Structure 1
Amino acid sequence: MTTALDTPPAPAAQSGRPGGRSFAESVLKARELSIGGALVLLIAGTWLANPAFLDDQGVKDLLLNSSILVLLAVGQSVVVITRNIDLSVGSVVGLAAFACGRFVSGTDHSAFTVVLLGIALGVVCGLVSGALVSFGRVPALVVTLGMLYVIQGVDHAWAHGEQINAADIPDSVLSLGSGSVLGIPYLPLISAALLAGTAYFLRTYRGGRELYAIGSSPEAARLAGIPIRRRVLAAYAFSGAVAGFAGALWLARFGTVVADAANGWELTVVSAVVVGGVAITGGTGTVWGAALGALLLTTIGSALVVLKVDAFWQQAITGVLLLLAITTDRIVQVRSTSALRKRNRR
């Protein structure tokens, strides 16, 4: 993975934009619809095999289990749209969850304070990664992979095997993870609100459209006067803030936290984003698709548990879906380039 500043594509790819763009968008919309259809079929099939899958508790568990992954997929999407990647989100979640747990353990701090602390920690981590990628021009894969190990090392050195117990967490914090409104848990409502707000920003505001421009053609974006470095830095800060927020919600959801919370979630988050139609090469995709990808992966895991299938198959299925999504992205890119060339000749 390279940064948006390092390897700009040929400017020709930007000319003749309507023909190739319409083809790419139609394919991506078809993928989102296919993911939604696969999700419905998966839920229906699992329900037929075990009706308890869609009872009140089953639906509640499915919503709760997918909420944090949907949040992380939204934050990751904003980075991937700019033709970058953030592999440190899982470690940021773990650091924020443990730090928030240590901060409120044995106190009566409010949930709002915990959320602010988690977001602040995530923003700091995101700004460090973003500064190295955008201003230092270090490849995003190298930076964020290094941040992953650095944060994990700091977290383990700080924790020394300590575990935060739910009994020491204030009820106001735990109620954030277990409370509900009209029977709907808080966490899915929070995820839906952030999802809708991010989608609206990316579609409506100039800053959101500029992120797509950077991912589509960094060179054209530079010539158009778009502040690429600041936008990429802001994307990483947002991804970090969302990861820190997710860490605070992780504490509220589970109560008991250890140093390696969310360990290994990085690739799951990236898989959800790519499977959801956000091209790994940047410039295309929506956060709605990323959320569908997160829901699909979470539902697969829950369905395998209900059907008493070995958890190994969840990783295998996730890997197959990721390969298929990347292959589809490549096919779309080749077809779009071919369509643009033919249009330019005419």
Structure 2
Amino acid sequence: MTTALEETPTPPTTPGSGPAPEKSEARSLVDTVFRAREISIGGALVLLVLFTWIANPSFLDEQGVKDLLLNSSILVLLAVGQSVVVLTRNIDLSVGSVVGLTAFACGNFASGTDHSAFTVVLLGIGLGMVCGLVSGLLVSFGKVPALVVTLGMLYVIQGIDHAWAHGEQINAANVPDDVLSLGSGAILGIPYLPLISFAVLAATAYFLRTYRSGRELYAIGSSPEAARLAGIPIRRRVLAAYVFSGAVAGFAGALWLARFGTVVADAANGWELTVVSAVVVGGVAITGGVGSVWGAALGALLLTTITSALVVLKVDSFWTQAITGVLLLAAITTDRVVNVRTTNALRKRSRR
């Protein structure tokens, strides 16, 4: 469960002054709503798992649980990186293409060699950071709308990937065992991938809650003008958010190679909207400044579980997209209602 500090940081105040009562009450309303959303997502997830288990008990057998954790790991990672960007009132639509590029690059680098998993992962993170750096520079210093920049980056990266691959694919037989073991190995029966995703998730949540630069991301998303007047280096923070998102996507690309072994040029194609949906459904406001990476991870886990449940229940995969769309619309509607209620509450208290 998120804390008020994590969701909405306290804006800087001058010495001797305190936060206005009306703003504190408005923030309390927002915090309560979004904490309730995380609880409701967790409840929906539990009910979905129980219903599917009752319909098909094999859903929660040892292999079924492992598959569920493995299938959600990469999406959780991408949701964490995307959340940091969305908190600043921006978006990154290039994450899916970055995963595809880094997965193929890492596979091409490792094929037929004895490179260690650590080296391959570093390559993926490095390539992802370069992609995030380009997007971040254009958005923060070039002041080009994030939607335009990242959509353009999506097509550019896909073009580079396809031109490089020439229709070829990376085969698992050519990938070093050290890399493949990262995707198939386990500790005490728990696969490496979900443990890695949880570690990144916990570290990011701790940074956002504890460090000033993390809290400043919330301030930027809540009110860029107020953040500027408070002396927050907005451009550098937004750039850092994009570099982090790119690094996480590159890391996810290396893990994609470890997980599946066989990689083609369009790996993770179309995942951009799934990642954004997971983040918004998880309670991170698309308008920025509110939410948590824990909620985004819950949203990713919920969407993955829906997909797995529909497969187990032998339901047409079309309904996965339909349900995701409904959840996304409901989340955006909730954000809008909260914003309107908060604005009205501020106006009424200011009149008093």
Measured against the shorter chain, the TM-score band is: over 0.9
Which of residues 275, 279, 283 in structure 1 aligns to 2:281?
Answer: 275
- C-alpha displacement at 1:342, in angstroms? 1.5
Normalising by structure 2, report the TM-score.
0.94
Which of residues 96, 112, 119 in structure 2 aligns to 1:90?
Answer: 96
Q: Where does residue 8 of structure 2 map in the other structure?
A: none
Partners of 1:17 and 1:92 in 2: CA distance: 40
- C-alpha displacement at 1:159, in angstroms? 0.2
Q: Is the CA contact (8 Å cut-off) linking 1:19 and 1:343 kept in structure 2?
A: no
Q: Where does residue 167 of structure 1 map in the other structure?
A: 173
Which of residues 329, 344, 347 in structure 2 aligns to 1:323?
Answer: 329
Does residue 194 of structure 2 align to residue 188 of structure 1?
yes
Which of residues 226, 236, 259 in structure 2 aligns to 1:230?
Answer: 236
- C-alpha displacement at 1:344, in angstroms? 1.5
Report how many residues are paired.
333
Q: Deviations over 1:62-107 (max 9, x none)?
A: 0000000000000000000000000000000000000000000000
Q: Deviations over 1:38-76 (max 9, x none)?
A: 000000000000000000000000000000000000000
Q: Where does residue 344 of structure 1 map in the other structure?
A: 350
Partners of 1:281 and 1:246 in 2: CA distance: 26
- C-alpha displacement at 1:345, in angstroms? 1.7
Q: Where does residue 28 of structure 2 map in the other structure?
A: 22
Partners of 1:97 and 1:286 in 2: CA distance: 27
- C-alpha displacement at 1:340, in angstroms? 1.2
Aligned-partner residue type, residue 333 of structure 2: T
Q: Where does residue 58 of structure 1 map in the other structure?
A: 64
Q: Where does residue 311 of structure 2 map in the other structure?
A: 305
- C-alpha displacement at 1:17, in angstroms? 2.2
Question: Structure 2: which 5+ runs fail to align?
Answer: 1-18
Partners of 1:207 and 1:225 in 2: CA distance: 12
Partners of 1:217 and 1:342 in 2: CA distance: 20
- C-alpha displacement at 1:298, in angstroms? 0.0
Stretches of 4+ moved more than 3 A in 1? none
Partners of 2:210 and 2:350 in 1: CA distance: 29
Q: Where does residue 13 of structure 2 map in the other structure?
A: none
Partners of 1:340 and 1:119 in 2: CA distance: 44
Q: Where does residue 109 of structure 1 map in the other structure?
A: 115
- C-alpha displacement at 1:311, in angstroms? 0.4
Aligned-partner residue type, residue 170 of structure 1: P
Q: Where does residue 204 of structure 2 map in the other structure?
A: 198
Partners of 1:331 and 1:127 in 2: CA distance: 34
Partners of 2:223 and 2:271 in 1: CA distance: 29
Partners of 2:48 and 2:159 in 1: CA distance: 39
SS of the aligned residue for 1:335 comes to helix
Q: Where does residue 34 of structure 1 map in the other structure?
A: 40
Normalising by structure 1, report the TM-score.
0.96
Q: Where does residue 291 of structure 1 map in the other structure?
A: 297
Does residue 148 of structure 2 align to residue 149 of structure 1?
no
Q: Where does residue 143 of structure 2 map in the other structure?
A: 137
Question: Structure 1: which 5+ runs fail to align?
Answer: 1-13
Aligned-partner residue type, residue 210 of structure 1: E
